Amino acid sequence: MLDPPSRGTLLFDEIDVSGLSEAKRLLIRRRMSMVFQKPLMFKRSVGENVAFGLKVRDCPRTSMAELVSGALDEVGLAEYRDRLATTLSGGEMQRVALARSIVTKPDLLLLDEPTANLDPGAARAMEEIITRLTKSKVTIIMATHDLSQARRLAQRLALIMDGRVVQAGTANDLSDHPASMNVARFLSGEYWQPISSYQGGKV
């Protein structure tokens, strides 16, 4: 955990991670990956950026090359492998960040508003990739302020207001049976607060 919780219980795959040793927590962290709102690129090639997580896991070089190629194919950047990552556009860098996150084959992928700073075309490209990923074995938790995006991408939604989950379910559940007047107002566009969309079924 980067920031240990001050209270409550944090479960991963039904395991309470708060009481584990640092070594065991590290093993669990390595089953997760994350894409932030603003991508951070190393001043290296696209391929080297994508390979970073594999290197820290001591992945064999022969396997690494194949995995990097597969991840770049997944995000549509196979021909960018030898380019300097910091020279790419914002949308391309975000796809490199996504490739770097999926190349390690995580069980859980965390996405922090991955399209918030992208132009409409780049955002659509990211959404298409995310949609494909939802058909794989990875569970995705994605934070977004865009309600229409959440409805397009998510199998389940969790609506957060004032730092608390006030309702969770499918998009139809929330629309047809809002838990409160504030939820109803938010869904009708009268109330604005962050929303998180949950993909997959492991978490």
In this prediction, residue 72 carries a pLDDT of 97
Same domain, 122 and 189: yes
Torsion over CA: 165, 115, 151, 125 (sign): negative
Confidence of residue 133 (pLDDT cuts 50, 70, 90): very high
Using CA atoms, how far apart are residues 167 and 164, in angstroms rounded to an integer? 9
Query: What tens digit of pLDDT does each residue of 159-182 get?
Result: 998 888 999 999 889 888 999 888
Percentage of residues of the chain with pLDDT beyond 70: 91
Number of domains in the chain: 2
Same domain, 116 and 196: yes
Residue 118 belongs to some domain of the structure: yes
Burial status of residue 27 (CB atoms within 10 A of its CB: 0-12, 13-18, 19 or more): exposed
Same domain, 83 and 120: no
Of the residues 60, 78, 105, which one is the last residue of a structural domain? 105
Summary mean pLDDT of the chain: 88
Residue 17 belongs to some domain of the structure: no
Same domain, 183 and 125: yes
Of the residues 74, 105, 136, which one is the last residue of a structural domain? 105
Residue 6 belongs to some domain of the structure: no
Between strands 11-12 and 139-144, the pairing is unpaired
Query: What tens digit of pLDDT does each residue of 72-121 get?
Result: 999 999 999 999 999 999 999 999 999 999 999 999 999 999 999 899 99
Between strands 15-16 and 11-12, the pairing is antiparallel
Of the residues 105, 121, 138, which one is the last residue of a structural domain? 105
Same domain, 119 and 200: yes
Query: What tens digit of pLDDT does each residue of 7-66 get?
Result: 788 888 888 887 888 899 889 999 999 999 999 999 999 999 999 999 999 999 889 999
Residue 29 belongs to some domain of the structure: no
Domain of residue 53: give its range: 38-105
